Amino acid sequence: MNDRLEPAPLYPGRVLDAQLHLLDRQIIDSEGTPVSTVDDLELEGAELGEDFEVTATPPRLTALLSGNALATRMFGGRPPTSRLKRIDIGVVSEVNVVVRIAALADRFDNTWVERWLRDHVIARIPGGRHDPR
């Protein structure tokens, strides 16, 4: 009788632990500007239900989802999918301490609140139009 475990099958690409490597990580654009944080993931090939079975191929990450999920984390529940903004996994250039994307933050709708506050509130404060020295 063989008590040894069979080796895990090899799949192309990088294997990531969603909770360890992705969730709650800050997303930074190509110029180092913060975009958002990773609040959820969009997976392909992962259907959960009562008859969940392990399939031959693992689920594939297709997009990072971010949005205003603070209230649902504090009070429970899940934010509606319509409130989460999608960042395609194709623009992700690096997954490390932060998640870097190979695009500018202005391309994504995630930063509209910060841009609006910068232009309409912070800019009206004396000294708010330039970097502190």
DSSP state letter for 71: H
Stronger pLDDT, 71 or 1, i.e. the higher one:
71
**Domain 18-45+58-124 belongs in CATH node 1.20.1250.20:** no
Average predicted confidence (pLDDT) for the chain:
78
Nearest of 51, 54, 64, 71 to residue 18 by alpha carbon: 64
Extended beta strands in 23-59, E state: 26-28, 34-37, 40-44
| Nearest by Cα to 99 from 35, 17, 43 | 35
Task: Report, as an integer, the average pLDDT of 78-86.
Answer: 78
Q: In the chain, what percentage of residues exceed pLDDT 90? A: 18
Contact (CB, 8 A) for 29 and 101: yes
**Domain layout of the chain by residue ranges:** 18-45+58-124
Looking at residue 121, its pLDDT comes to: 85
Q: What is the pLDDT of residues 53-81, one digit of tens each?
A: 555 667 788 999 987 766 776 787 777 77
Say if pTM beats, i.e. exceeds, 0.85. Answer: no
- The span from the CA of 6 to the CA of 50, in Å, is 27
